[in-house]
Structure 1
Amino acid sequence: LVVSDTPEPAFVSVRFLYGDWDVVRSAVPILETLVDSSPKVVRDMTALLVAELALAEGRRAACELALDRVARTASDGIGDHASRTWMAAASRRVQLCLATRDIAGAAEWVNAMDRVLAEREFAPGRLALDIARGRLALARGDTTTARTIAVDARDKAHATHHQLAFIQSCLLEAAALRIANYHDEAARLATMAIERACDCQLPCEGAEARIERARALLASGDAVAAHEDLARAGAIFARLGATAGIREIESLTPRIRATRPAGVTAREIEVLRLVAQGLSDRQIADQLFISHRTVTTHVGNLLGKTQSANRTELAIWALRHDIVGSTDEGVMV
């Protein structure tokens, strides 16, 4: 991590991607004190690190200040490093604008990225521009263009082994499909992103992918699976201290609760589905890997919440409220 007690910015950037945010939080203040005496590359990387961390922690003002620093230093330079740094900062600017529905501001930054790419002939920046364009198209409601851009970007990312861009393009396409009401296909694309993030050990990207899949699952009516994805994403964000991600999850929670009649919990829905299939309490306990006593408690709570006199009425209630897919799954009589 350190040479002469000084963190290496490149190493700290990698630790950020891999979810070692405590390392980043410890290193950034040290790097900040050395900015004035550091080479330009260190100043740029430090400012970008501060911006990335602030964005993830939901500190918008701090993120914008850091991005201003990146813009000032990177615009003065030439070559791949300056171009890469500027494009990364501009991409974050697009995200910030879209988060507040500032479509015009996002469009200005996308156009600026296009100009810089043309002037500097920086080929690696093409993917960043494509994804920014796709996000802008999606914000404008143009799901067809967003999906077309996402498919092309994903193919490029796969060919060049650009893992982050691959994940981002999968999520862009998933969002476009979800908005266009292709929920199953959207969930499949989000799953691809989850798997790639897991393979590459990128926890934050994996959590973001789970949120996108939860949105698709929720839109298709599968509140239980959506809740599971959000719970896993929330655990990751809580460990990282990613306040922005936690807020996004909290914004989705009321929608999930609204899909559960009579105020039943996600676990109770799982139990209820198995009751409707005719399973005994012990069979349910074995299938859900919980104790028999816990299942009995859940069934008792369900009887009370649904005002059912017995398991038969409980199963019928589940069918009437579309908690089980069809009568083919069986109702205990």
Structure 2
Amino acid sequence: MDAPTALDQGRTAYREHRWTAAVTGLDAADHEGAVTASDLEHLATAAMLVGRFEDGVDRLTRAHEAYLGDADVDGAVRCAAWLGMQFMLRGDRARAGGWFARAQRLVEQHEPAHPDHGFLLIPEGLAAFYDGDGEHAAVVFERAGQLARAADDADLVAVAGLGLGQAEIMLGRIEAGLALLDEMMVAVTAGEVSPIPSGIVYCGMLQCCRLAFDVERAHEWTRALDHWCEQRPDMVSFTGQCHAQRAALFLLHGAWSEALAAAQEAQLRSERGDPDGLFNAWYQHGEVLRLRGDAAAAEASYSRAAGTGWEPQPGLALLRLAAGEAQLARSMILAAAERVDEAERRVLLAAVVEIQLAMGDVPAAREAADELATLTRSIAAPMLRAIAEQAEAAVLLGEGDARAALTASRHAWARWLELDVPYEAARCRMLAARACRALGDDASAAMELDAALAAFADLGAGQAIAAADAEWSASRAPRPGGLTAREVEVLRLVASGRTNREIAGELYLSEKTVDRHLSNIFGKLGLSSRTAATAFAFRHGLAD
């Protein structure tokens, strides 16, 4: 049996999704002059998947020309349309327009044998979508899908279905849009769609899950995307987006070190050949750093995210708020909210509420909370409802209705617990603490505050801890050594001879929280032992 040629090796590697080997084999065959137009098209795809975008463009251009030489108009139109798609996704609208125009001219020159090609409707649908015209986008993508099904073009069916699903979500028809995207994902996971449109649909689906606050779907399809990428270990395209999505999920569920690592991996992979993942890679990186309290590093990350052409909101506005620049934060978040469609606006409204309350503009915060509640009623998304209930609790507190605020904060807290989102659950306990204090229930306020601070400490949420310390210290009468009310309670029990376990049982705290309080007491008072702490308590009248 003859040894396999470079062409044989390249074709086999392509079928087996070994993209680097496919590039090596097909490239060698190309230099030998042994490739067909189809081989060039596959070589272009493999090159793009391993991050060699310009090489891919060059080979796809040559594939287009080879198809023309073979009088294969369908192949030539397909290559021209995909070149247009690639440039449009990269933001190069001039080159995209040129390739789409060439594809259109080919179709027109060869009618009626080659009727309107569905791919040529994609730029019109995308333009309508980017302009915020969801109705027109939906009509165009629906027509593109009809033409794709008539031509039995699985790639175009998937791309058109993604566009239609995104348009439905933009128009507020969340369940219909997600159901359509699920259908497209079935075709992708079944291997019916070629690699590049598969990656586009995967990443588009996860973006839609974010806009719909559908955590369960996001988990399911992120796992599927992970598996898809793992089966193609030398692939670069889409892996930056994959790791950025993983970072967002890690952040949500309180695994912040893992989120930081995933964001850094997303940055590396995006820079190697997946630029569409770069914004989210840097944005999620900035979010972790902001919540940890590292303002300067978060600022730098948000700046890198902004360099991709997208606004790093609401993170940047919330960073400004934490720095005491509430007026600037409000200007930023309101401007961002005005520039986006309804789906993106939902992502920003909770931050609008928080910032308006910080400015003391309770009516404006109420307006934003009511808008969020209205948008929530028609959407079966527990996460969005938790966000809306949390915003409602904060506004009720601002309006002086502490009892209703306490009820709303506890409802939101329960939802966040079900969703396993510890940071937001702790923020709800902070709201509950404020409500209890306003109702004169200092004991319950201390309990809620301790629980929130313990959760923040476990997460390493330095920004939230600093904000809580500043807020609650300002409202308390001075105590010896600057101790908090809870620290005084712990010190009193230490002076009475209780162990940490006994103190935890008496105050309904964990031993870990008691350890933290005791460490804070020693640090504030400059002490190093329980004996010294007991003596301090007696000297200052803090012992029973």
Q: What's the TM-score once normalised by structure 1's chain length?
A: 0.67
RMSD across aligned positions (CA): 3.7
User: Aligned partners of 2:507, 2:295: CA distance in 1, in Å?
Assistant: 42
Q: What is the aligned partner in structure 2 of residue 52 from structure 1? A: 287
Would the alpha carbon gap of residues 267 and 241 (structure 1) be closer, same or farther in structure 2, given more than 3 Å must change? closer
Is the 2:246–2:259 Cα contact (8 Å) retained in structure 1? no
Query: What CA deviation, in whole Å up to 9, does each residue of 1:208-256 have, x standing for no partner?
Result: 1111111121222222111111221222222211111222232345367
Amino acid corresponding to residue 9 of structure 1 in structure 2: A
Q: Residue 199 and residue 305 in structure 1: after superposition, are their counterparts in 2 closer, same or farther (change >3 A)?
A: same
* Structure-to-structure mapping, 1:1-333, within 5 angstroms: 3=230, 4=233, 8-75=243-310, 86=311, 89-117=312-340, 122-254=341-473, 258=477
Question: What is the total number of aligned residue pairs between the two structures?
Answer: 267
- Residues 42, 250 of structure 1: alpha-carbon distance in 2 compared, 3 angstrom cutoff: same
Q: 1:133-152: CA deviations, max 9, x gaps?
A: 33343233221331232133
User: Contact conserved, 1:210 with 1:233, CA < 8 A, in 2?
Assistant: yes
Distance in 1 separating the partners of 2:448 and 2:262: 32
Q: Is the 8 A contact 2:247 2:260 kept in 1?
A: no
Cα deviation, residue 124, structure 1: 0.9
Percent of counterpart pairs with the same letter? 23
How far residue 16 of structure 1 moved from its aligned partner, in angstroms, is 1.4
CA contact (8 A) 2:327 2:359 kept: no
Q: Judging changes above 3 Å, is the alpha-carbon distance between structure 1 residues 305 and 25 closer, same or farther for their aligned structure 2 residues?
A: same
What are the Cα deviations for residues 37-91 of structure 1, in whole angstroms up to 9, with x where unaligned? 131232122111111101111111211221122222143xxxxxxxxxx4xx221
Name the amino acid aligned to 2:446. Answer: H
Query: Whose radius of gyration is greater, 1 or 2?
Result: 2
Question: What is the rounded CA distance, in whole Å, between the counterparts of 2:323 and 2:339 in structure 1?
Answer: 25
Q: CA deviation at 1:287?
A: 9.7
Counterpart secondary structure, 1:235 = helix
Aligned partner of residue 19 in structure 1, secondary structure: coil
Residue-by-residue CA offset, 1:269-288 (whole Å, 9 max, x unaligned): 8xxxxxxxxxxxxxxxx998
Higher RCO (Cα < 8 Å, 6 or more apart): 1
Q: Which runs of 5+ in 1 are unaligned?
A: 76-85, 270-285, 291-300, 309-333
Task: Decide whether aligned partners of structure 1 residues 216 and 136 sit closer, same or farther in structure 2, where only a CA change above 3 A counts.
Answer: same
User: Gaps (5+ residues) in structure 2?
Assistant: 1-222, 490-504, 510-536
**In 1, distance between residues paired with 2:415 and 2:254?**
15
Q: Aligned partner of 2:314: which letter?
A: S
- Contact 1:223–1:259, Cα closer than 8 Å, also in 2: no
TM value normalised by structure 2: 0.43
